[in-house]
Every structure is written in structure tokens, then in C-alpha cells.
Structure 1
Amino acid sequence: MEYPKTIRVSSLTDERRATFYRKTYTHVALAVLLFIIIEFLFFQTPAIVNFALSLLGGWSWLILLGVFMFVTNYAENLALKSKDKNTHYFALGIYVVAEAFIFIPMLLFALQAIDGEKMLQQAAIMTIALFAGLSTIVFVTKKDFSFLKSILAIGFFVALGLIVSGVIFGFDLGLWFSVGMVILAAGSILYTTSNMIHKYDEEQYVAAALGLFASLMLLFWYILRIFMSRD
């Protein structure tokens, strides 16, 4: 089967480029909505909540992180390498479900805190504001942030090492680790948004949405951790 030739987003006409961006960010918004719906359904199922909580701490948490990283890599490869739209949606769907599951303990602890709902709202608003601001920087400057790839790879490798060490030796990574991860997540948003403009093809808007959603949720995770550390 011969696939139609695709064109880089940066080479499109202004109208077609705007259509690509609209499709991409619409799918990011839909992924967030699906995340909320799935999370709500998970919280209505005590068995799932209890199972997620049982994986906290020790080797169980490391195994869960390993599975989550595997699902992330699998979903991203599916979305990027396949030309089939149904496969793209399947990849985005399984990633959203994985995010919703791994967020169960974090959201549960946040809701149990004093003014938990207000804290969640504040963290969400800050996340969206930062995401929008960083995206705007890329669109306005039109700068290629692909040079961040090596920096991000090293940063995430170091962060993973610290997380594993923290679990094995039982120490808390603390506030500054979360601040560092927010900076890494911000860099990831710059990098992913830049790739969307300079590296992606016209038909890869679902893959672009998956990458942006992943960076958005990483940012939300650590902003929420910072808010929770104040209590």
C-alpha cells in the first residue's frame, strides 16, 4: 500500500498550518477531558484505587514507573511510526489511561489535604498558564529548540536515578527536586512544541498532541507536588 506524501508543517501554507495547530491543540484538550473522565471512573471503582495505592513505595512503585515508561515509549512510537489514524488514536488512548492510573495516589492525597480541591484548581491553572506561555514563546520566536534534546535526555536520566535512589534508600527528594522537574517539564514543552512546528508532518497532529499532553501532565504532576509540599 502506498501512502500519500506528507509535508512538513513548516512548509505548509498559513491556512493549512493553522488547521494543523487547531487539530493538534483540540486533541490535547480532548486528551485532558478524557483523562478527567477516566480518573473520575477510576475513583468510582475502589478496587482500582486500592490497587494503585498498594503499589506505592518500594519495588512495586519502581515496577509501576517502569511499566509506565514502557507504555509511554510504546504509545509514542506507535503514534510517530504508523500512518494509520486509528493506530494514532489507540496510542493516545492507552497513554491517557496510563496517566490516569499513575495519577490516582497523587490526586487522592491532594484531595485529602486542607483545601484540596482549591489546591488542585490552583495547580491546574498555573500549569495551563505556563503551558500556554511556553507555547507562545515558540510560536512567536519561531526558534528551533531541538538543541534541548540532549539536555533533556541527561536531565531526565539524572532525575530517574534520583527517583530510584530515593525509593531504594527511603529518602524524600524534597521541594527542590520538584522545582527542577518543573524546569525540565518546561524544557520538554519548548522542545515538543518546536518539534511540532519544525519536524512533524501534516498528518501527525495526533502524535503531536500525545507529546504535548505528556509534557503538560509532567508539568502538572510536579507543580501539584510543590503545592502539596506547602501543607
Structure 2
Amino acid sequence: MQNRRVHNANMSAVAGRMSGFGTQVDSATAANVLKNTYWLLGLTLAFSALTAYLSMGMAFNPIMHYGAFFAALAITFVIHKVANSVWGLVLAFAFTGLLGLTLGPIIGFYVSMGAAETVTTALGLTAFAFFGLSGFALVSKKDFSFLSSFLTVGFFVIVGAIVISLFVQSSAFSLAISAAVVLFASAAILYETSAIVHGGQTNYILAAVSLYAQIYNLFISLLNILMAFAGDD
């Protein structure tokens, strides 16, 4: 389905901008960054869910969809400039709210098709994957900085595949991209959580925005995969 294909391609593009591991910080500082990150992540997820709910009744409009998506993408660049000010918080909510707006019509469409259970399953799998991956990084305290190269290469490979998919209309290829995004987002969650634990990420706004993007990518890609196997492509 065209809506699903376009949306999947867009979600993959949000994936980049991971933080490199820098100077180590004390455990108290890392714990504080982690706490603030999860608080902000929870609030932005709730806000995104609200904007998605408010837009569920809207018909899918490519112009509005692309406008909201590219506005959100532009905001990620600005956030890095103002992440140490209150504007960083404002833009974090703007970013997640705009992406929520792009989710609403897609979810509403699938619900109207009678695929509400599939949407719920995708949401449950996303939550399970996030808490499992993030929890593993926290409990094991393993340094996942070695994933940096994989994420860099993976980002460009996925972007390249998305460009090709614009010219090659193939459900199998689209499904492969979704699977690749799931792997990429999973690795990015491990990397970002580990960066917080080991002091490589000390700004909770940037950390929350990065983790939100990966949760967003996971949900959309898992939804695409589940819909494909359900025969609703």
C-alpha cells in the first residue's frame, strides 16, 4: 500500500545523529542524566500520542505528511544548537508532536481497515523491544560504543535503499527495508543507553530525542512487517 511505503521511507530517515562516547563522568551524574532522559522521553511520548490521537480522524495528506515530517527533521538540527537551553525542551516537544501528527492518519487508516489488533501488537512489541534493549544496556553496563561504525554505515545503506525503493516498487524490498530499520533502531537504543551510562551522552534532551526517534522507527517498521504478513500490504 502506498501510504505504508511512503511512511516507512520517511521514518528511516530520522535514524541518524547518534552521540559519540566522550569523557567519562561520575556515576551520580550519569544516573541524573538517565533519570531526566526517561522523564522527558515519557512526557514526549505522551505528547506524541496525544497529537497522533487528535490527527487519527484526518485523511492521509501527502503534503501535510511531508511538511510535518521535514519540519521535524529540521528541528533535530536546531535542537543540537540549543540543547542546553529551555528552547531545547520546547523543540523536543515540537519534534515529537509533529511526528505524532504523521502517525495519526496512518494508524487511523489501519484501524478503519479492522487492523486495530495489529496496531496494538506492533505497539506492544515496540515497548517490549525498547525496555528489553535499554534494560540490558543498563543492567549489563556493557560499552556499546563499538556500534558507532555499524550505525554510520547502516544509516547510509538504509537511506540508499530508500532512494532505490522510489524507483523499484517491490513489497519484498520494502519489507527488507523495514527489517533493516528494526535492526538499526535496536542497535541505536543499545548505543544511546550505553552512552548515557558511560558518560558519552550528558545532555538528556538530546538523549531523549534520539531514543524517541528509535522508538518511532521501531513502531512504524514493526507495523509494516506485521501488516505485510497479515496480507494487508
Shorter chain as denominator, the TM-score bin is 0.7 to 0.9
Q: Quick check: 2:56–2:106 contact (8 Å CA) kept in 1?
A: no
Is 2:190 aligned against 1:185? no
- Post-superposition Cα deviations, 1:151-190, rounded to whole Å, max 9, x if no partner, equal 1111121111111111134333233332221111100101
Pairs aligned (count): 206
Q: Which runs of 5+ in 1 are unaligned?
A: 1-7
Partner of 1:127: 126
Deviation at 1:35, TM superposition (A): 0.6
Is 2:36 aligned against 1:36? no
Partner of 1:229: 228
Partner of 2:97: 97
- Quick one: structure 1 residues 102 and 73, their matched pair in 2 at CA, closer, same or farther if it must change by over 3 Å? farther
Find runs of 4+ consecutive structure 1 residues off by over 4 angstroms: 63-68
Partner of 2:38: 25
Is 2:213 aligned against 1:214? yes
Deviation at 1:206, TM superposition (A): 2.4
Partner of 1:5: none
Partner of 1:112: 112
Deviation at 1:94, TM superposition (A): 1.9
- Quick one: structure 1 residues 155 and 127, their matched pair in 2 at CA, closer, same or farther if it must change by over 3 Å? same
State the AA in 1 paired with 2:113: A
Q: Quick check: 1:71–1:98 contact (8 Å CA) kept in 2?
A: no
- Quick one: structure 1 residues 65 and 26, their matched pair in 2 at CA, closer, same or farther if it must change by over 3 Å? closer
Partner of 1:4: none
Q: Quick check: 2:56–2:107 contact (8 Å CA) kept in 1?
A: no
- Larger C-alpha radius of gyration, 1 or 2? 1
C-alpha separation in 2, matches of 1:160 and 1:109:
26
Partner of 1:139: 138
% same residue? 24
SS of match in other structure, 1:147? helix
- Post-superposition Cα deviations, 1:90-127, rounded to whole Å, max 9, x if no partner, equal 2211211231233244323322333x222121111111
C-alpha separation in 2, matches of 1:67 and 1:102:
11
C-alpha separation in 2, matches of 1:205 and 1:166:
35
- The two structures have a TM-score, normalised by structure 1, of 0.77
